[in-house]
Amino acid sequence: MKHLIFASVLALFSLPALASPAHSYAFGAPALASQADRSVEIVMGDMYYAPRSLQVKAGETVRFVLINKGAVMHEFSLGDAVMHARHQQEMLAMQGQMDHAAMGHGAMQHGAGMKHDDPNTVMVEPGQRGELTWTFSQATPIEFACNVPGHYQAGMVGKLTIDQ
């Protein structure tokens, strides 16, 4: 019994060491909307963003107001091309798990159930609004993109330039 208690206590204190590290981003960090230097409105349509490109300055905090005018769920995610490719694989895996679980239960809305808590990403339902506030730290090439399976490939990606 004494060994079981010791093993349980040891496991409890070891869990933080086994947990995945917090997300860090070379291009900046999430911020509060109240800290924003400016707000930028982005329309999310079916397979497009308007505007398609943005410019910000290193050190600037931007509040993105996201309006989904499309018929399906869309995502607004900040990152470089490698991050988006990795995220697309995760989204594809989530979709595969949902499709398997929903067999015989009718069609699912494209992107439904693909919830996650990445601070650089917001999912927005059709006809809804969302927000993401970000402080950009350094000049580096990044994109804003929708990583719902097939959306990035259909052109739902924009260029974000961070100037010094």
Q: Which helix or strand (DSSP H or E) is residue 12 part of?
A: helix 2-18
Residue 117: what pLDDT?
A: 75
Report d(CA 74, CA 123) in Å as an integer: 6
Domain 27-163 CATH assignment equals 2.60.40.420: yes
110: pLDDT strictly greater than 90 = no
Can you give the pTM of this predicted structure? 0.76
**Pairing mode, strands 61-68 and 38-45:** parallel
User: Cα–Cα distance between 93 and 51 in angstroms, integer?
Assistant: 29
Instruction: Give per-residue pLDDT as tens, 18-64.
Output: 333 456 899 999 999 999 999 999 999 999 999 999 999 999 999 99
Q: What is the pLDDT of residue 96?
A: 65
Nearest to 142 by CA among 58, 79, 62: 79
Cβ burial, residue 140 (10 Å; 0-12/13-18/19+): middle
What is the SS3 assignment for 134? strand
